Amino acid sequence: MRDDLAGMIGRLEAARGRRILVIGDLILDRYIWGSVDRISPEAPVPVLELTHETYTLGGAANVAHNLAILGARVDLVGLVGADQDRDRLVGLCRDAGIETAGVLEDARRPTTTKTRVIGHNQQIVRIDREQRTSLGPDQVAAASRYLEAVFPSLDAVVVSDYSKGTVTEALLDELRRLCRARPVPVVVDPKSTQFAMYRDFSVMTPNQIEAGTGAGFKIRDELTLVEAGYKLRASLNLEAVLITRGANGMSLFEKGKDVVHIPTVARNVYDVTGAGDTVTSVMALALAADLSFVESSHLANCAAGVVVGKFGTATVTLDELGALAPTPGA
């Protein structure tokens, strides 16, 4: 399959301009960078001498950013607060060419922000500012109206659930209703323990721990991995399940087919932050480009191998994917 990588990337490149909607929890990732050369006399903690701060898109916003980098036309549905971090997040989305008309604002909650303090490229601590209250009926109605308005022109949908309250049964019921009338690929990255609400979609991309949670037992070996993959696919009426397994690569469970194990291509692993977002985004764009589940999974695996070699929340480009393709005649 890796010998066909160049051809698959070519088809992915030809999918530029495909319209993909991302529904999920929007997160602003803040990085505080500095150096640590001493321990505080006040307590046994390091003293960070701050050099600079950076902001990147996280959660569902990172999925949208990955898709935009790959050339997709991206719409975003999610929830933010009425604060300075909202301005930063929406501004970063607009800078990336992501449509934010579907982003809802709620002054009663903060924009979800994860602050990572970094000293000498080592994460010292992470500080989360968030509220996990689910969307209210009025917010679900507003999101559903936007979903219905854009749905006729969509080529794929991503559901990126970080358990911050955006992804609800009611909102997914509306998505299922629209998909029954006009089927499009729906890729779900799960986080909730309520796996039943992810039913009847195209493909789900849990990591191994999440897959075990959904299946109801711990995955200990290949036997329990295979049992969990097929159980999730059948019980949720999905077309496929792609379980990401870190250093062990990925495993694809497709309806009516044998499991396909895909070895990792990562050479260096510096940071796994956002790797799942990259898998989800590449999977969605590949399916929108009419690639098979196996082909889409191989591309997603290659993309994950690229981003884990970068520090912080990262994206992947078509050129970076192309660099993994075997050289003709080599």
Domain count, the chain: 1
Contacts of 195 (CB under 8 A, 6+ apart): 213, 214, 232, 236
Query: Is residue 87 pLDDT above 80, yes or no?
Result: yes
Which residues are marked as active site?
277
Report, as an integer, the average pLDDT of 158-183.
97
**Segment 268-289, tens digit of pLDDT:** 666 566 688 999 999 999 999 9
What pLDDT does residue 273 have? Answer: 66
Residue 52 lies in a domain: no
269 vs 204, residue with greater confidence: 204
In this prediction, residues 27-55 reach a mean pLDDT of 96
Supply the pLDDT for residue 292.
Answer: 96
In a domain, 35, yes or no: no
Average pLDDT score over residue span 297-304: 92
Q: Could you read off the pLDDT of 96-148 as tens digits, one per residue?
A: 999 999 999 999 999 999 999 999 888 999 999 999 999 999 999 999 999 99
pLDDT for 72 beyond 50: yes
CATH code (residue 297): 3.40.1190.20
What is the structure's pLDDT at 329?
47
User: What pLDDT is stored for residue 101 in this prediction?
Assistant: 98
Residue 87 falls inside a structural domain: yes
- Read off the pTM: 0.93
Domain that holds residue 87: 2-27+58-111+130-322
Question: How many percent of the chain have pLDDT more than 90?
Answer: 80
- The residue-averaged pLDDT of 47-62 equals 96
What average pLDDT score do residues 197-221 get?
A: 96
Stronger pLDDT, 51 or 326, i.e. the higher one: 51
Tell whether 20 is covered by a domain: yes
Answer whether residue 123 is part of any domain: no
| Better-predicted residue by pLDDT, 193 or 63 | 63
Q: Does 327 have pLDDT greater than 70?
A: no
Query: Confidence band (pLDDT; 50, 70, 90) for 264?
Result: confident
Q: Looking at the domain assignment, is residue 315 inside a domain?
A: yes
pLDDT interval class at 330 (50, 70, 90) = very low
In a domain, 48, yes or no: no
Residue 209: inside a domain: yes
